[in-house]
Chains A and B, each alone.
Chain A
Amino acid sequence: EIVMTQSPATLSLSPGERATLSCRASQSVSSNLAWYQHKPGQAPRLLIHGASTRATGIPARFSGSGSGTEFTLTISSLQSEDFVVYYCQQHNSWPLTFGGGTKVQIK
């Protein structure tokens, strides 16, 4: 099983600041990495797939990069609605696995 590790667990930033979230795989997943945003009480939302492709309707302030075992989700300028939890997921091999999540909170 591929273990996905996200860091930091919590990120404290101010609106307008840049957020950098990391996701590391225990073995290579090539570019088969997705990012999701999850607001409490709501359905998770796909942000990025294939490590760097924004999903339909996702604002340009969200970007993804990386390949192999190291991945990054960047939010260029945090908006109020961005202060929620983010998960990475490898879709390279079974079983499919998620990272533990990064909570972005207001500083």
Chain B
Amino acid sequence: EVQLLESGGGLVQPGGSLRLSCATSGFTFSVHAMTWVRQAPGKGLEWVSTISQSGSSTFFADSVKGRFTISRDNSKDTLYLQMNNLRAEDTAVYYCAKVNSGWWFFESWGQGTLVTVSS
């Protein structure tokens, strides 16, 4: 069974940093691209970032480009999202998801972790 478990969320002040983790199991992590998607309170889903299987290619939404970094450790089957210079509008539940092998849609999702940016 595919499992994705996000952690690292919490309350942070504007301008602060936070690192999210997504521990995975139940599939061969190293052969799948991975992604982060977020949902702000009362809003819809927003794609944030995607990383290729090896980590050599990364993609970011304009809203987080230059502030967020995505990475992965294939030896630990874990995905990361480093979030710097956080803003109030980054407040959201952050989901990690497993990307399909051939196309950029999301086969399995975690339960999410809440990030709140507030003073």
The answer to the question of B95 belonging to the interface, with a C-beta cut-off of 8 Å to chain A, is yes
Taking Cβ atoms with an 8 Å cutoff, the residues of A that contact B are 32, 34, 36, 38, 42-46, 49-50, 55, 87, 89, 91, 94-101
Complex partner residue of A100 from B44, B97, B100, B103, CB under 8 angstroms: B44
Task: Give the tally of cross-chain contacts (CB within 8 A).
Answer: 61
B interface, how many residues as a size bin? 20 to 34
Cα distance A91–B99 in the bound complex, in angstroms: 11
Taking Cβ atoms with an 8 Å cutoff, the residues of B that contact A are 4, 35, 37, 44-47, 50, 59, 61-62, 95, 97, 100, 103-112
Given A87-B45, A95-B47, CB of A34 within 8 Å of CB of B105: yes
B50 (CB) vs chain A CBs: closest residue: A96
- Note all chain B residues with C-beta closer than 8 A to A42: 111
Cα distance A98–B61 in the bound complex, in angstroms: 12
Most chain A C-beta atoms within 10 Å of own C-beta, residue among B62, B106, B108, B110 = B106
